[in-house]
Amino acid sequence: MTLPFALMMLLGQLVNMCVTALAAFAVTMVFRTSTTTNFAQGSVAALGCYYTAELFGKYGVPVYLGLIAGMLVGVLCGLFIDIVIFRNGKSVNPVGKQIITMGLVSIIFGGIPLRFGNPERVPFESLYRGKEAANIIVDFAGGKLVVSRHALICLGVTVAVLAALFLLLKFSKWGLAVRATASNEFTAELMGINSHAITAISWALACALGVLAAVMYAGNGTAITASFMTTIQVNAFLACILGGFSTFYGPVVGAVCIPLVSTLVSFLQYLPIEGAAAISRWNMVIVYVLLMIVILIKPQGLLGKPVAKKV
């Protein structure tokens, strides 16, 4: 196995890394401000992606404009979940909120076919099909390194979006309010922070990021269905557990580690070792086992901080 081929396998995971990173950050935003996990994240993302695909395929709207409309759908869904549902159920504990979001999954899964039909299609394939610039080929180490243009676009968008969000969290008043609410909502309210506004913005932002991730994932040649983001959502939750829910950057690191380790395990099939090819077929199972081992050793995650309680 040559070095260019190995790098190509890693570069082939760029889109998955970017999509999982955005989804993991979205999950973290909701968890840190609302002390619950949003199991409807993937279905809301799929809903927004369907609107983007419809505007692009049926009405010829440019993807970036359709994406704005799809993200707006995500924002409205996030605001509805927080303001209309959770605000009217203040006595519901975090587990009850999770059950509510699971119910929303069923509603959205049933609503998408009613609104859009149930075709399994690749809506953004025409963006790159037949174009010479679809792939970028670079001579490297005596071989050719092929990188898709879509992967580079996803990488640039993901880095720009996450960098902007981390800078806002660190240096803006909004970021200070988010960090205060995430630390202790009651104390944040005593300091004059409108925690209701912070949680609403967090839900809206999380759902919008989910739609962005879904469109990026669909643009990689993935057929969209009501449940096509389920795998990404599961990996995003696992990334949050691996990186640590107690930080905003830990889940992003976890989102990069999961596809990376999966690819490294896949490398085994090219090694001259008996049984290595069979092991490589279980790459995701091996990744999950390694994740369990990490959590057993460090329950708070790789970058998580232990929770200290005063008595």
Angle, nearest 10°, between helix axes 195-218 and 14-34?
160
- Tell me the whole-structure pTM to 2 decimals: 0.90
**Strand residues in 118-236 grouped as ranges (E):** 135-140, 143-148
Q: Is 245 left (phi over 0), alpha (psi -120 to 50) or beta?
A: alpha
Whether the predicted pLDDT of 279 surpasses 80: no
Distance separating alpha carbons of residues 123 and 258, to the nearest angstrom: 27
List Cβ<8 Å contacts ≥24 apart for 101-106.
101/36, 101/37, 101/38, 101/39, 101/40, 102/39, 102/40, 104/39, 104/40, 104/43, 104/44, 105/39, 105/40, 105/42, 105/43
Q: What are the two backbone dihedrals, phi and then psi, of residue 273, each rounded to the nearest 5 degrees?
A: -125, 130
Distance separating alpha carbons of residues 300 and 9, to the nearest angstrom: 31
Mean of the per-residue pLDDT values of the chain: 85
Distance separating alpha carbons of residues 249 and 181, to the nearest angstrom: 17
DSSP assigned state of 244: -
Q: What are the two backbone dihedrals, phi and then psi, of residue 137, each rounded to the nearest 5 degrees?
A: -110, 125
Domain boundaries, given as residue ranges, for the chain:
3-228
Q: In this predicted structure, what is the pLDDT of residue 158?
A: 96
Whether the predicted pLDDT of 311 surpasses 50: no
Q: What tens digit of pLDDT does each residue of 163-197 get? A: 999 999 999 999 999 999 888 888 888 888 998 99
Half-sphere exposure of 80 (CA within 13 A, CB side): 12
Whether the predicted pLDDT of 98 surpasses 50: yes
Half-sphere exposure of 81 (CA within 13 A, CB side): 34
- Pick the closest to residue 45 from 283, 168, 209 (CA basis): 209
Whether the predicted pLDDT of 11 surpasses 80: no
Q: Answer yes or no: are the C-beta atoms of 179 and 40 closer than 8 Å.
A: no
